Amino acid sequence: MRIIALVLLAVAIAACGKEKSPVVPTAPTAEAIGAELATFPQLLVPISTQTWASMRTAAASNNLSGLTADRYPQPYARASVQVNGRNAVVLAAYTSVRLAPAQVPMQVMAVQQYLRVFTADTAADLGGVVTPQGHIFFTRAQLPDVIIGATKAGSSFEDMTYSVVRGTGR
């Protein structure tokens, strides 16, 4: 009995000194990304500098038809990031004015509205959303499954009323 107790004690002591190998997190599925996006009530998409200037000109001339960003050739600003040593164009969105760059004019959109804008913006390689927990990126190839995930999670297909806000972040 003593021998068995000593063996068990030795095994227990040996196990205490071993470090467990770290668990490598797996990337979320595209549907999981869509479900995560669906948790946000709105997204804020930066309006391009050229479009903003055109909108201001339209406002000054009282041209009400020229006051929405979607009436211009490149309505939304794009960012560029390095992916595997290559530049990738990102259609960025923010979940809060506090996360968005200060004073940047942005259009308020529903999640599905943003996904449709990304679908139409063939110059953008990636969709990117800045959240309080970090950045969410997805590729154009993942887009159909992201849309499915957002739809299954209850994301509305209804567009938000056109409005412009400015970022208050850094």
% of the chain with per-residue pLDDT over 70: 88
Please check whether residue 22 lies inside any domain of the structure.
Answer: no
What is the span of the domain harbouring residue 147?
Answer: 27-166
Look over the chain and give the mean of its residue pLDDT values, rounded to a whole number: 88
125 domain-assigned: yes
Task: Locate the DSSP E strands across the chain.
Answer: 43-46, 79-83, 86-94, 105-109, 126-131, 134-139, 164-166
* pLDDT one-digit tens code per residue, 64-123: 888 888 888 889 999 988 888 999 999 999 999 999 999 999 999 999 999 999 999 999
Question: Does residue 96 belong to any structural domain of this protein?
Answer: yes
Q: What is the pTM of this model?
A: 0.82
- Does residue 18 sit within a domain? no
Instruction: Answer whether residue 129 shows pLDDT above 50.
Output: yes
106: exposed, middle or buried (C-beta count within 10 Å: 0-12, 13-18, 19+)? buried
In a domain, 68, yes or no: yes
Domains contained in the chain, number: 1
Q: What is the mean pLDDT of residues 38-60?
A: 94
Residue 17 in any domain: the answer is: no
**Does residue 124 surpass a pLDDT of 70?**
yes
pLDDT value, residue 153: 97
Q: In angstroms, rounded to a whole number, what is the distance separating the alpha carbons of residues 63 and 43?
A: 27
Residue 46 inside a domain? The answer is yes
